[in-house]
Amino acid sequence: MVRDIGDKWEVHLTGREPFLLGKDSYAVELETFSKLPPPHGLTQEEVRAILEAIEGAAKLAQPTGEATGIPEELSPALAYLRDNLETLLAGAMDSSGYGNVSLEFKRLKLEEKAQVYYTALRRVFRFLRVRPRDPSSEWAVYVVADGNVLYEVRAVLDPAVGFLVARGLARSSLRRELELAAYDSSEEVDSSEIDPWGYLRLRRGVLDLRELKLLDHVPYYFRSRLNVEVSEEELREIREGSYRVEDSEVYRLWRDRFEDEDWEYLVHSLGTWLAPYRFRHIAFLIGPAGVGKSTLLANLTRPIEPVVAHVSLRSLAGYQFGREPLVGKQVIVYSERGEVVLRNIDVLNTVFGEYDWVEVVRKHKTTVWIRSLKAGMFSMNDPPVLQEYGGETLRAFLERLSVIFAREVSTPPRKDVYVDPKEAFKFLLWCRVQLEKSGWEVRKRSEEEILEYL
């Protein structure tokens, strides 16, 4: 329907001579054409179709990849789909019994177009439908990249529909029908096969968190991939104790902020982040403003950002949709601002392991169930205000809680300190090994000490 010819769009409509629209002025020009009487004017339906085609063509002309929000791993397959669209459509039309020309595809009903195009897409992409834990919940559909990395299905459907719209073969409403086709026809897997605790998908390969070894293949899928690499030799050094933590940037920049006892508590709390198990653990990192608490956490979470939720205690305990950012995450890390009041610690007990599964109410979406998180760490300048002083709920909370103090030093770290993500990742793995050496028992202050402090 539209063709890119430099600074203009060339528009082709059935029964009309081709005409040109300026790339910077096409909206105004179309509005003018819509006000002209026949045969020179355009109907509102024609204007909408042209606008959709221009939008699709503009997306088509953009490079795939990070610049467009398309995951890098999907870019080659999308480029192949774009460049071979006519051939793929012809094959899908033929196998569906409709013939093999794009003109026939254009004449199909919306539902028929969706089935034919989904057939073409399945020749390029692999789609998975994840069976939810709760039978009343919706199934989730993903597209698979690089063997075991899952992305939301719209990461493919949005640009794929744009390719058709740009060629005048479909309208954007086809996307919804394609989503339904994907829900009906994708390969099924169980939710237990998604995001296992004991493995992390790295930039290259899968890290076995139990053995601290890299694997090429595992029978699981991952909704997150960490943008970090670590070699087998580096893992061996960490496993066998030849890794020198004293040479780590994290150690050199922050070790003097902690007394020996608090440093051990910090290391054990951080060790829960990359442990192969779920810990019912919450850590409060408390210290004066300017000692580097937020900077420390920002650098430590950078290599594992895809599995970290950043949610305040206030939102978790008091906001209806406060748990929504937890979907697909394993730990919570947040730097609190101002006074922290713990009004509903029962919610915190639930999120951090009271039950295996946690209900998450989502805004404008269906409710889902997620596994309770491994651990959480919250930094704050002053101790929180505790509004519960007894009972089973408080006892369960204190069992989970570790209070870690950071102290002032004469040369606080700059806020612009940047630790290489790989170095931060290796430090976290070292913390995980220290926790394993203690028999996976998190060292922390006694419940009596914590309660007295709070």
pLDDT in tens, 297-311: 999 999 999 999 998
Residues 6+ apart with CB under 8 A from 14: none
| 38: confidence class by pLDDT, cuts 50, 70, 90 | confident
pLDDT above 60 for 182: yes
Q: Where are the beta strands (DSSP E) in 38-192?
A: 126-131, 140-145, 149-152, 187-190
Q: What is the pLDDT of residue 103?
A: 65
| 247: confidence class by pLDDT, cuts 50, 70, 90 | very high
Percent of the chain exceeding pLDDT 70 equals 92
pLDDT in tens, 328-355: 888 999 998 877 777 778 778 777 876 6
Phi first, then psi, for residue 353 (nearest 5°) are 100, 10
Contact 64, 70 (CB under 8 A): yes
pLDDT in tens, 65-112: 444 467 888 999 999 999 999 899 989 998 888 876 666 888 889 999
Report d(CA 221, CA 194) in Å as an integer.
Answer: 5
* Domain covering 242-453, topology: Rossmann fold (3.40.50)
Question: In whole numbers, what is the pLDDT of the chain averaged over residues?
Answer: 86
Q: What is the pLDDT of residue 362?
A: 75
- Bridge partners of residue 142, in order along the sequence: 128, 152
Portions of the chain given CATH number 3.40.50.300: 242-453
Q: What is the pLDDT of residue 392?
A: 82
pLDDT above 80 for 11: yes
Q: What is the pLDDT of residue 316?
A: 79
Nearest to 123 by CA among 159, 85, 71, 153: 85
Instruction: State how far the alpha carbon of 155 is from the alpha carbons of 19, 46, 366, 437, in Å.
Output: 33, 28, 20, 43
Percent of the chain exceeding pLDDT 90 equals 47
pLDDT above 90 for 261: yes
388 vs 25 pLDDT, higher one = 25
Contact 375, 269 (CB under 8 A): yes
Q: What is the pLDDT of residue 386?
A: 77
pLDDT above 60 for 29: yes
DSSP letters for 71-98: -GGGHHHHHHHHHTHHHHHHHHHHHTTS
Nearest to 199 by CA among 225, 164, 227: 225
For residues 51-78, give the mean pLDDT. Answer: 70
450 vs 144 pLDDT, higher one = 144
pLDDT in tens, 197-245: 899 999 989 999 999 999 989 999 999 999 999 999 999 999 999 999 9
